[in-house]
Structure 1
Amino acid sequence: MKRITVFIFALLLYTSCKSEYKPRNIEAISIKEIKMDSTSIRAIQAINNTSMYYAGSMGDVGFTDDNGKSWTTEFIIFKDSIVPHFRSLAINNANKFVLSIQNPALLYKISKDSTQLVYTENHEKVFYDAIAFFDDKKHGIAVGDPTENCASIIVSNDAGNSWHKIDCSKLPNFEEGEAFFAASNTNIKTLGSTVWIATGGKKARILKSEDYGETWQIHNTPIIQGNGPQGIYSIDFADKNNGIIIGGDYSKPTENKANKAVTIDGGITWSIVADGKNPSYKSCVQYVPNTNGQEIFAVGKTGVSYSKDAGITWKDVSKEAYYTIQFVDKSSAWLGGNNKIGKLVLK
């Protein structure tokens, strides 16, 4: 009965609102590696086929507009001694926002003429994981591990000029050991006025707000959970209903049980896909634009994988390790990794 239910769900997922899309014939997938010295890159923002930004582990924020041939890099140091470890990056209009992970949490706004510290948080448990802006560009949100009994969530209502932390009284309670992973700046997804945030560790759940973070729901998932390195590492949505989560157990990266799930009801319920089949642990999952939620790429230290049927089946396309991927269009994407940037091209 369980197998029949999973099959029916998969069939509905494959056909619902997507019957008009016919998977294309991709003849070649190539990844060009660009060496980057002494920095771990988990946060990127793709601009177009030749331009992208990254934020790195050495307080570095880099930009290229010539396909990675040359880079303009700014190095940020806090109070002449603290080098921020950036794993979060978002672009809002002409401004870049980079957020460090460690105590103190440091959120910088970088504009054409200045670099301004717009939020600081001091706490022994502080650890921020991801940042994003909503479609209206006015509202921003960033998420971090709990310092109390709830998620650490900071929001902006003025395009990122100022930020404030949401009080725990307005957020769902977390279990001890439930937190987030700062693996790829993609455990958070915004669409319209809605945001989804994926947790891991003791629990693997989805925080959801449909009003820019004013009110919140929390939903369970069947993703592997219970121990520190287990849970959801990345989330993406093709539209307001159809989404995917991926992760696994970072300490056992070749395992592929209960590490991928999809939703067709906006994140309320989730169903495991490709259980016991590759891909195994991944740190980032992203839909390919303009493919009606059918084409998906997932990357991690176990390589790069691709699905053309909404996550039901997958193909491994590269053994190269990358932390994160972001598409420019349906034919190209940028990737970030340890001491490297990647450029993916589909033909």
Structure 2
Amino acid sequence: MKRPLILGALVVLAAGVLATPATATPTTGHGPTLTWRLSPTGSDARLRGLSAVSAKVAWASGSGGTVLRTTDGGRTWSRTSPPGTAALELRDIEAFDARTAVALSIGPGDQSRIFRTTDGGANWTETFRNGEANAFYDCLAFFDHRRGLALSDPVDGKFRLLSTDDGGRTWSVVPSDGVPPALDGEFAFAASGQCVTTSGSRDAWIATGGGAKARVLHSSDRGRTWTVSDTVLASNASAGVFATAFRDRSHGIAVGGDYAKPDGAVDALGTTRDGGRTWRKPSSAPKGYRSGVTWHPFLPSVAIAVGPTGSDITLNEGRDWRAFDSGSFDTVDCASDGACWAAGEKGRVATLRLVF
């Protein structure tokens, strides 16, 4: 099927989803619907890290040092974990192709580590091990195949960042001069690998919570200097912005809520049209906590959000949302060819499908 036909089907499908009652399973007799098609992984790990390379290739990572990879669209999965990581939580993974990926383990002190593979996970190299007792790395993101950032909770009152310009082979601490002071109790959530995100070659955003305000920090120079803005999301010790996604340097979505009350009707989503300087509430929002969000690469107004209580779609840049699935997922990612994947608890991985 040619791309224009695929896009047309998706538009009709998404419109139908927004116009009909939400269901946990596909409905029949009412035109196409969206659904997640589960892909058995053979794992019971909680998979909070996800990187969608294409319709064929995806990587996932999570508890117990787990790294999984598929090269056949999810029909089969291979466990390609770094050795000696069974006690680590690999909460984020960023893949460049079927052979090259960078994975991050979280935790205080030396539990925070970064690993890199160039042979599909057959061999891994540890490229960073945290030596700061007060640092706790949460997530990482890349601008391209060479330049990237890794984010830690605040150290000495400011968020700590690492940068790489060689694809994750080496990492260096970013000077904190250009980082605004953190609020009391403020930190980043290592829930979906999306607490630091990028768009284009220079822009990056940090999602925060835990303090008096849920905030988003923005850098337009690959992490050297940052500005900060309050969002419309709720914030407390278990609430805030858990993830952001930016379609370009201006249009973004922030999702979160309170993970301790996943069904709670708190302010859990905001949108921006100015790169994160200002945020507004949508007309309708997902019902409950959402930990992951992504834009569709072909449909500029379409985005998908996921969380433990379900998945939602927007057709109009985040102003209105409609639930289309009630299954539990922690993270979501769409590849450049339009394939969308989700991952979560008990080894759950799925691909987005049209059901007619």
Shift of 1:22: 12
- Aligned counterpart, 2:137: 128
- Aligned counterpart, 2:234: 224
Q: Which runs of 5+ in 1 are unaligned?
A: 1-20
Q: Is the 8 A contact 1:58 1:75 kept in 2?
A: no
Q: Does 1:208 align with 2:215?
A: no
Alignment-mate amino acid for residue 214 of structure 1: R
**Is the deviation greater in 240-249 or in 112-121?**
112-121
Q: Is the 8 A contact 2:55 2:338 kept in 1?
A: no
Secondary structure of 2:45's counterpart equals strand
Over 3 Å counting, the alpha-carbon distance change for 1:331 and 1:88 in structure 2 is: closer
Alignment-mate amino acid for residue 183 of structure 2: E
- How far apart are the structure 1 equivalents of 2:140 and 2:316? 29
- Aligned counterpart, 1:102: 107
Q: Is the 8 A contact 1:201 1:230 kept in 2?
A: yes
Alignment-mate amino acid for residue 138 of structure 2: D
Q: Is the 8 A contact 1:261 1:272 kept in 2?
A: yes
Secondary structure of 2:91's counterpart equals strand
- How far apart are the structure 1 equivalents of 2:219 and 2:336? 27
- Aligned counterpart, 1:15: none
Alignment deviations for residues 157-185 of structure 1 (CA, whole Å, 9 cap, x no partner): 22221101223333111012000011111
- Aligned counterpart, 2:275: 266
Give percent identity, aligned residues only: 27
Q: Is the 8 A contact 1:288 1:330 kept in 2?
A: no
Alignment-mate amino acid for residue 257 of structure 1: V
- Aligned counterpart, 2:20: none
Alignment of 1:140-219 (within 5 A): 140-192=148-200, 193-202=202-211, 203-219=213-229
Secondary structure of 1:75's counterpart equals coil
For residue 33 of structure 2, the aligned residue among 28, 52, 56 is 28
- Aligned counterpart, 1:14: none
Shift of 1:218: 1.4
**Structure with more of its chain in strand, by fraction:** 1
Q: Is the 8 A contact 2:186 2:208 kept in 1?
A: yes
Shift of 1:308: 1.1
Secondary structure of 1:169's counterpart equals helix
Alignment deviations for residues 201-237 of structure 1 (CA, whole Å, 9 cap, x no partner): 1031111111111222112212111x11110011011
Q: Which runs of 5+ in 2 are unaligned?
A: 1-7, 14-31
- Aligned counterpart, 1:16: none
For residue 68 of structure 2, the aligned residue among 46, 62, 65 is 62
- How far apart are the structure 1 equivalents of 2:101 and 2:39? 22
Shift of 1:238: 1.2
- How far apart are the structure 2 equivalents of 1:68 and 1:224? 36
Shift of 1:74: 2.0
- Aligned counterpart, 1:90: 94
- How far apart are the structure 1 equivalents of 2:296 and 2:62? 24
Alignment of 1:283-302 (within 5 A): 283-292=291-300, 294-302=301-309
Over 3 Å counting, the alpha-carbon distance change for 1:330 and 1:70 in structure 2 is: closer
Shift of 1:331: 5.6
Shift of 1:82: 6.0
**Is the deviation greater in 51-60 or in 316-325?**
51-60
Alignment deviations for residues 88-126 of structure 1 (CA, whole Å, 9 cap, x no partner): 111246521111002311111112274111111134443
Shift of 1:188: 1.8
Q: Is the 8 A contact 2:53 2:336 kept in 1?
A: no
- How far apart are the structure 1 equivalents of 2:77 and 2:10? 36
Shift of 1:198: 0.9
Secondary structure of 1:58's counterpart equals helix
**Taking structure 1 as the reference length, what is the TM-score of the superposition?**
0.86
Alignment of 1:232-251 (within 5 A): 232-251=241-260
Secondary structure of 2:39's counterpart equals strand
Over 3 Å counting, the alpha-carbon distance change for 1:87 and 1:303 in structure 2 is: same
Over 3 Å counting, the alpha-carbon distance change for 1:118 and 1:235 in structure 2 is: same
